[in-house]
DNA sequence: AGTCGCCTGGTA
DNA sequence: TACCAGGCGACT
């Protein structure tokens, strides 16, 4: 699920529903995606959810944390207690929480008050790790992240990153070590909003283009968060609900459709191994 | 910097 | 049947 706005939406859902619960039991059904000692978190109370790039940390009050990366199809799904079961799950649209756990559910966290947290992942690319909270920043994934848009990625830092690299601008935006959180959807859309060809060498951008791209990144990420992320594929929020950013795609997944600005047909190429969509007229 | 592998499912 | 998919890491 993927990118910053989607993971942020999950985080906010977990803030609302998961914090305060005590973990009573952990059932790791697919050991390949699970690491660490599940016994360490039993009895721990969830006190905070933190997001770094596309990764999440669920902190407990006993010095342990659950680190989660959902990669392409992972989902963190919260089901409330029996007394009110269905009032949240029933309105669900993409994943019916009442049907869990199913064959794609790989970790089940049994919580107090009859609530449950499920980690569900069709493609099994994601991971769940039990770690000591103090070790989180030392994990390779979290340690390698660059600055975050909408947080510590300032225009000055962005200009520095852009001007020091000669790689194509789109793969650079998606390099988590350079900038954390941008994935394929928002990289495509931000470059469209900024009017920049995704194949351009990063260092070839003018000062004005650097500023436009910085603003475009903030704009598309903010919009993504505002509408709860993009549920074009399997992404859902913590209650199994769909986001709406797919209705606001500028160029992502729009091959063959007319550009919203000039009507030119949107093209698709492969860049850095990923599908890349752009308007050959508006993006130079 | 590019390609492949990890997996499963949806679509042409 | 072949190719595609919000990611990432380990290879060349």
CATH (domain of A129): 3.20.190.10
Integer distance in angstroms from CA A121 to C1' C3?
A: 22
Distance, in Å, from the CA atom of A133 to the CA atom of A64, rounded to the nearest integer, reads: 5
Is A283 a member of any domain? no
Mean pLDDT of A118-125: 98
Is A148 a member of any domain? no
Q: pLDDT value at position A247?
A: 97
Integer distance in angstroms from CA A256 to C1' C6?
A: 21
Is A72 a member of any domain? yes
Which residue, A114, A143, A172, sits at the end of a domain?
A143
Q: Do A172 and A137 lie in a common domain?
A: no
Closest nucleotide to A229: CA versus each C1': C6
Q: What would the pLDDT profile of A244-253 be if each residue is shown by its tens digit?
A: 999 999 999 9
Give the dihedral sign, CA A11/A13/A15/A21. negative
Is A128 a member of any domain? yes
Is A80 a member of any domain? yes
Is A215 a member of any domain? yes
Say if CB A39 and CB A85 are below 8 A apart: no
Least confident of A64-78, A83-97, A222-236: A83-97
The answer to whether the beta carbon of residue A10 comes closer than 7 angstroms to any atom of strand C is: no
Q: How confident is the model at residue A121 (pLDDT cuts 50, 70, 90)?
A: very high
* Predicted TM-score of the model (pTM): 0.96
Which residue range is the domain that position A234 belongs to?
155-278
Q: Do A81 and A118 lie in a common domain?
A: yes
Q: pLDDT value at position A81?
A: 81
Q: Do A190 and A214 lie in a common domain?
A: yes
Q: pLDDT value at position A91?
A: 54
Q: Do A212 and A128 lie in a common domain?
A: no
Phi first, then psi, for residue A55 (nearest 5°) are -105, 155
Residue A162 pLDDT > 70: yes
Integer distance in angstroms from CA A121 to C1' B11?
A: 20
Q: pLDDT value at position A83?
A: 54
Q: Do A129 and A214 lie in a common domain?
A: no
What is the pLDDT of chain A when averaged over all its residues?
95
Q: How confident is the model at residue A84 (pLDDT cuts 50, 70, 90)?
A: low
Mean pLDDT of A154-180: 96
Q: Do A225 and A167 lie in a common domain?
A: yes
Q: Do A122 and A164 lie in a common domain?
A: no
Domain count of the fold of chain A:
2
Which residue, A123, A143, A163, sits at the end of a domain?
A143
Distance, in Å, from the CA atom of A191 to the CA atom of A202, rounded to the nearest integer, reads: 12
Q: Active-site residues of A: which are they?
A: 2-3, 54, 274
* A183 to A3, A241, A267: CA distances (angstroms): 5, 21, 19
Q: How confident is the model at residue A93 (pLDDT cuts 50, 70, 90)?
A: confident
Q: Do A123 and A167 lie in a common domain?
A: no
The answer to whether the beta carbon of residue A185 comes closer than 7 angstroms to any atom of strand C is: yes
Q: Do A213 and A125 lie in a common domain?
A: no
């Amino acid at each position: 699920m993927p990118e910053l706005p989607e993971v942020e939406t999950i985080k906010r859902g977990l803030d609302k529903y998961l914090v305060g619960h005590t973990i009573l039991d952990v059932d790791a059904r697919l050991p390949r995606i699970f690491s660490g000692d599940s016994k360490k978190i039993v009895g721990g109370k969830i006190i905070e959810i933190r997001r770094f790039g596309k990764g999440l940390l669920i902190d407990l009050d006993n010095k342990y944390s659950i680190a989660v990366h959902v990669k392409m199809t992972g989902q963190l799904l919260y089901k409330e207690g029996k007394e009110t079961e269905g009032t949240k799950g029933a309105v669900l649209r993409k994943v019916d929480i009442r049907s869990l756990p199913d064959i794609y559910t790989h970790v089940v966290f049994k919580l107090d008050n009859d609530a449950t947290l499920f980690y569900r992942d069709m493609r099994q690319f994601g991971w769940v790790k039990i770690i000591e909270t103090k070790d989180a920043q030392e994990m390779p994934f979290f340690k390698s992240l660059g600055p975050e848009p909408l947080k510590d990625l300032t225009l000055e830092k962005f200009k520095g990153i852009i001007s020091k690299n000669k790689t194509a601008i789109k793969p650079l935006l998606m390099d988590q070590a350079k900038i954390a959180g941008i994935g394929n959807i928002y990289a495509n859309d931000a470059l469209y909003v900024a009017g920049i060809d995704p194949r351009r060498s990063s260092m070839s951008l003018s000062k004005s283009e650097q500023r436009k791209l910085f603003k475009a990144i903030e704009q598309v990420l903010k919009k993504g968060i505002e509408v709860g992320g993009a549920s074009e594929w399997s992404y859902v929020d913590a209650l199994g609900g769909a986001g709406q950013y797919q209705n606001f795609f500028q160029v992502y997944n729009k091959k063959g459709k007319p550009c919203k600005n000039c009507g030119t047909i949107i093209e698709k190429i492969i860049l850095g191994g990923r599908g890349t969509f752009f308007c050959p007229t508006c993006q130079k």
